[in-house]
């Protein structure tokens, strides 16, 4: 019923935007051009934008920061046509079987959400026992750019890259500054942030402290967490630098959808995550390289007595060799040791047994780009990854791109993805099976990109997925336990996505995206139809944006079970700078639409945050 009203608002805003007077500043955020832009993909390789033979979104966070209130995944959900991020709370995601923050891209994701690989500055970031990303760790404050690589990408990135890869690129300070932000809203929601930036010709240092809390829109759905991070960069030589970064994120949340709460004490989780990454990057002649030494540690405790400790330690090197203007090669190697133990503190004799489980993984990859003519590029490569659970996997990739004109790119590719079984699926519970094999997906894609000019363009792509050996809980007839993890799932999926990106005036930005997906039996949180929009304008000093989405054909379970109603969301943000200060207003679900992410569990109604930020140069 509200969809016509929503479309009327969008059309009216476009009309008003076009008729507004100019005189505002041109958007200073980096814009990529088809002909001359060189992009670095997840620290693995750099390549001209015109030569990329697959679909990738490069999202500058500063431009869209006011479209989100707690996580960069909200930006991914808004600006990636085929991405769906489950967001059922006013603030925070949580984890667990009913946790939000799960990401599906092009029909793949899984629950736990181990089918999407999240990277931070090129290094993998995941919970070592369950294999899923950590959505409440990915704050907005220190991220410069999000790189979303759509479709299977294991040839370069390895296990878990079944549906795609999300790489979060940290921002490096460009000047000395103090930053402070305070926001407050309904449902007793508050957010405070304090940051310090130090910059010199040879060194940069950033410190960030963020606290956020909310009582939630339903009783016992609160969230309270900190995100503390630091990054130090030091120039070692003319073309070399050293970066040391760290993050500590303790938080707790309530979520009644996780289970029964007979005592009324809350259905909660308490999480502590910490990470550190030492990185050296540099250039020697035609060779660009990076070296990472990193760790990720976590402690999780839940209301039902489940407690876990997990860890990962990794060493990696990624190199890019530019032989000439016609041939470029990326190659690298990785070693990863990860594991953990879990127990029940209320039933020590029951599963899981408090035994330490670990996996060692070694991998190497090579990918090449050959451009025999300025208009034609051939891409090919493969990866081999072996794990100590006696499984190995080869993953190939191939693609080509062709420019019939300076404004048009045609591309096609074949990609493969895989996922190794997680420790939870292998060992943790009676339903686990230590004979599981990797999941696999093969995908073919073709598409076009047409650039009207540097700031106005149209994208379209069509893809097909062949998914095999999915790990699922399946019946175990005549045996105990009655259900067990098995490589029993498969699916034939197809879909397409299109996006129109317009900036007809310096003060106006418009993005309209639509995607269609036939997920086969993998229907859980894989909507058939998604229409997304982002419209922004500037008038004098005001910056106003309206954004949202329409979702149709969505289910809470696979095999088309637990169908949820279609829904449309309208949100807006408003900012007004005053010298060193900026006033902010964010309103989510403006029309107060009722919709559900789980049967009987209503998503947040209208909610808002208002406040100010200070950016003081020193």
How do beta strands 581-588 and 607-617 pair? Answer: antiparallel
Across the range 259-278, mean pLDDT stands at: 78
Say if residues 113 and 166 touch (Cβ distance below 8 Å). no
Return the pLDDT at 130.
93
**Is the model's pLDDT at 249 over the cut of 90?**
yes
Which has the minimum average pLDDT: 149-163, 243-257, 262-276, 585-599?
262-276
- How does pLDDT run across 155-181, given as a tens digit for each residue? 999 999 999 999 999 988 888 999 999
92 vs 425, residue with greater confidence: 425
How do beta strands 116-120 and 164-170 pair? Answer: parallel
Q: Percent helix, strand, coil in the chain (nearest 5)?
A: 10, 60, 35
Closest among 531, 602, 519, 589 to 555, alpha carbons compared: 519
Q: Which two tokens stand for residue 365?
A: 């990859």
Closest among 63, 206, 140, 176 to 616, alpha carbons compared: 176
Say if residues 151 and 106 touch (Cβ distance below 8 Å). yes
**Is the model's pLDDT at 19 over the cut of 80?**
no
Q: Which two tokens stand for residue 384?
A: 């081999």
Q: Which two tokens stand for residue 46?
A: 């750099």
Return the pLDDT at 35.
58
Q: What is the pTM of this model?
A: 0.92
Burial (Cβ within 10 Å: 0-12, 13-18, ≥19) of residue 166: buried
Residue 96's pLDDT band (cuts 50, 70, 90):
low
Return the pLDDT at 586.
96
Q: Which two tokens stand for residue 564?
A: 């949820």
Torsion of CA 262, 524, 398, 131, to 10 degrees: 10
Distance CA 169, CA 44 (A): 13
Q: Which helix (H) or strand (E) holds 49?
A: none
Bridge partners (DSSP) of residue 47 are: 39
Closest among 132, 163, 167, 140 to 150, alpha carbons compared: 163
**Is the model's pLDDT at 258 over the cut of 80?**
no
Distance CA 509, CA 25 (A): 13
Return the pLDDT at 492.
98
- How does pLDDT run across 557-570, given as a tens digit for each residue? 999 999 999 999 99
Distance CA 132, CA 144 (A): 23
For residue 90, the number of C-alpha atoms closer than 13 Å in the C-beta half-sphere is 29
- How does pLDDT run across 590-604, given as a tens digit for each residue? 999 999 988 888 899
Return the pLDDT at 515.
98
Torsion of CA 149, 153, 154, 160, to 10 degrees: 60
Which has the minimum average pLDDT: 70-74, 232-236, 314-318?
70-74
**Is the model's pLDDT at 282 over the cut of 80?**
yes
Buried b (16+ CB within 10 A) or exposed e, 267-286: bbbebbbbbebebebbeeee
Return the pLDDT at 70.
86
Q: Which two tokens stand for residue 595?
A: 């919709």
Say if residues 132 and 98 touch (Cβ distance below 8 Å). no
Which has the minimum average pLDDT: 191-195, 251-255, 297-301, 496-500?
251-255
Distance CA 303, CA 484 (A): 25
Say if residues 225 and 213 touch (Cβ distance below 8 Å). yes
Sequence spans of domains, the chain: 3-617
**Is the model's pLDDT at 463 over the cut of 90?**
yes
Return the pLDDT at 16.
37
Residue 356 CB coordination number (10 Å): 10
CA 175 to chain centre: 28
Distance CA 588, CA 188 (A): 15
Q: Which two tokens stand for residue 275?
A: 């990470």
- In 86-161, DSSP assigns E strands to 103-105, 116-120, 123-124, 143-150
Return the pLDDT at 141.
83
**Is the model's pLDDT at 371 over the cut of 60?**
yes
Across the range 444-455, mean pLDDT stands at: 92
Return the pLDDT at 27.
46
Q: Considering all CA atoms of the chain, what is the largest pairwise distance in Å, rounded to the nearest integer?
A: 75
Most confident of 29-38, 134-143, 186-195: 186-195
Across the range 491-498, mean pLDDT stands at: 97
How do beta strands 607-617 and 177-185 pair? Answer: antiparallel
In order, the DSSP letters of 501-534 are EE-SSTTEEEEEEEEEEE-TT--BT--SEEEEEE
Q: How far is CA 287 from CA 9, 241, 292, 320, 499, in A?
A: 52, 15, 17, 6, 35
Residue 62's pLDDT band (cuts 50, 70, 90):
confident
Say if residues 187 and 214 touch (Cβ distance below 8 Å). yes
Return the pLDDT at 563.
95
Return the pLDDT at 23.
35
Return the pLDDT at 22.
35
Say if residues 80 and 67 touch (Cβ distance below 8 Å). no
Return the pLDDT at 11.
39
* Architecture of the domain delimited by 3-617: Beta Barrel (2.40)
**Is the model's pLDDT at 26 over the cut of 70?**
no
Distance CA 81, CA 462 (A): 12
Distance CA 414, CA 400 (A): 9
Distance CA 420, CA 418 (A): 7
Instruction: Work out whether the CA dihedral 135, 137, 141, 147 comes out positive or negative.
Output: negative
Q: Which two tokens stand for residue 494?
A: 């197809």
- In 285-326, DSSP assigns E strands to 287-302, 306-322
């Amino acid at each position: 019923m509200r969809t016509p009203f929503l479309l009327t608002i969008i059309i009216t805003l476009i009309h008003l935007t076009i008729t507004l007077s100019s005189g505002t500043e041109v958007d200073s955020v980096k814009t990529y051009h088809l002909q001359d832009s060189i992009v670095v993909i997840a620290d693995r390789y750099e390549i001209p934008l015109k030569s990329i033979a697959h679909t990738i979104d490069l999202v500058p966070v500063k431009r869209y920061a006011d479209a989100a209130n707690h996580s960069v995944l909200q930006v991914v959900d808004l600006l990636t046509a085929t991405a769906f991020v489950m967001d059922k709370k006013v603030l925070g995601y949580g984890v667990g079987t009913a946790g939000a923050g799960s990401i599906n891209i092009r029909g793949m994701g899984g629950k736990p959400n181990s089918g999407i690989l999240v990277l931070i500055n090129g290094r993998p970031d995941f919970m070592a026992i369950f294999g899923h990303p950590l959505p409440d760790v990915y704050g907005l404050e220190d991220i410069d750019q999000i790189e979303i690589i759509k479709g299977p990408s294991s040839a370069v990135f390895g296990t878990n890259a079944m549906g795609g890869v999300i790489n979060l690129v940290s921002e490096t300070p460009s000047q000395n500054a103090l930053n402070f932000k305070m926001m407050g809203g309904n449902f007793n929601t508050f957010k405070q942030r304090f940051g310090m930036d130090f910059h010199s010709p040879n060194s940069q240092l950033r410190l960030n402290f963020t606290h956020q809390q909310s009582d939630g829109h339903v009783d016992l759905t609160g969230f309270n967490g900190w995100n503390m991070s630091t990054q130090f960069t030091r120039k070692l030589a003319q073309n070399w630098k050293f970066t040391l970064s760290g993050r500590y994120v303790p938080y707790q949340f309530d979520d009644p959808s996780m289970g029964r709460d007979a005592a009324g004490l809350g259905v909660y989780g308490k999480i502590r995550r910490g990470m550190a990454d030492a990185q050296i990057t540099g250039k020697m002649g035609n060779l660009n390289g990076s070296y990472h030494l990193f760790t990720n540690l976590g402690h999780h405790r839940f209301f039902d007595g489940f407690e876990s400790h997990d860890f990962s330690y990794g060493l990696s090197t990624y190199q890019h060799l530019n032989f000439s203007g016609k041939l470029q090669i990326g190659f690298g190697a990785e070693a990863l040791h990860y594991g953990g133990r879990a127990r029940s503190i209320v039933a020590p004799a029951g599963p899981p047994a408090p035994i330490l489980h670990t996996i060692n993984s070694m991998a190497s990859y090579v990918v090449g780009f050959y451009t025999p003519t300025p208009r034609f590029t051939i891409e090919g490569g493969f990866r081999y990854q072996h794990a100590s659970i006696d499984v190995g996997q080869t993953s190939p990739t191939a693609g080509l791109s062709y420019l019939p004109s300076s404004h048009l790119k045609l591309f096609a590719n074949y990609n493969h993805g895989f996922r190794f079984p997680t420790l939870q699926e292998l060992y943790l519970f009676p339903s686990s099976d230590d004979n599981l094999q990797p999941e696999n997906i093969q995908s073919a894609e073709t598409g076009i990109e047409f650039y009207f000019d540097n700031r106005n363009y149209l994208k379209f792509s069509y893809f097909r997925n062949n998914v095999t050996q999915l790990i699922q809980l399946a019946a175990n007839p005549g045996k105990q336990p009655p259900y067990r993890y098995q490589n029993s799932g498969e699916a034939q999926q197809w879909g397409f996505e299109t996006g129109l990106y317009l900036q007809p005036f310096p003060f106006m930005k418009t993005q309209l995206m639509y995607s269609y997906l036939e997920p086969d039996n993998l229907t859980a949180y894989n909507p058939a139809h998604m229409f997304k929009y982002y419209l922004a304008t500037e008038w004098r000093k005001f910056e106003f944006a309206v954004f949202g989405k329409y979702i149709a054909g969505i289910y809470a379970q696979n095999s088309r079970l637990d169908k949820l109603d279609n829904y449309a969301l309208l949100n807006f943000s408003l900012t007004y700078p005053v010298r060193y200060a900026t006033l902010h207003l964010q309103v989510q679900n403006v029309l107060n639409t009722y919709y559900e992410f789980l049967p009987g569990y209503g998503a947040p109604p209208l909610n808002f945050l208002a406040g100010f930020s200070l950016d003081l140069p020193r």
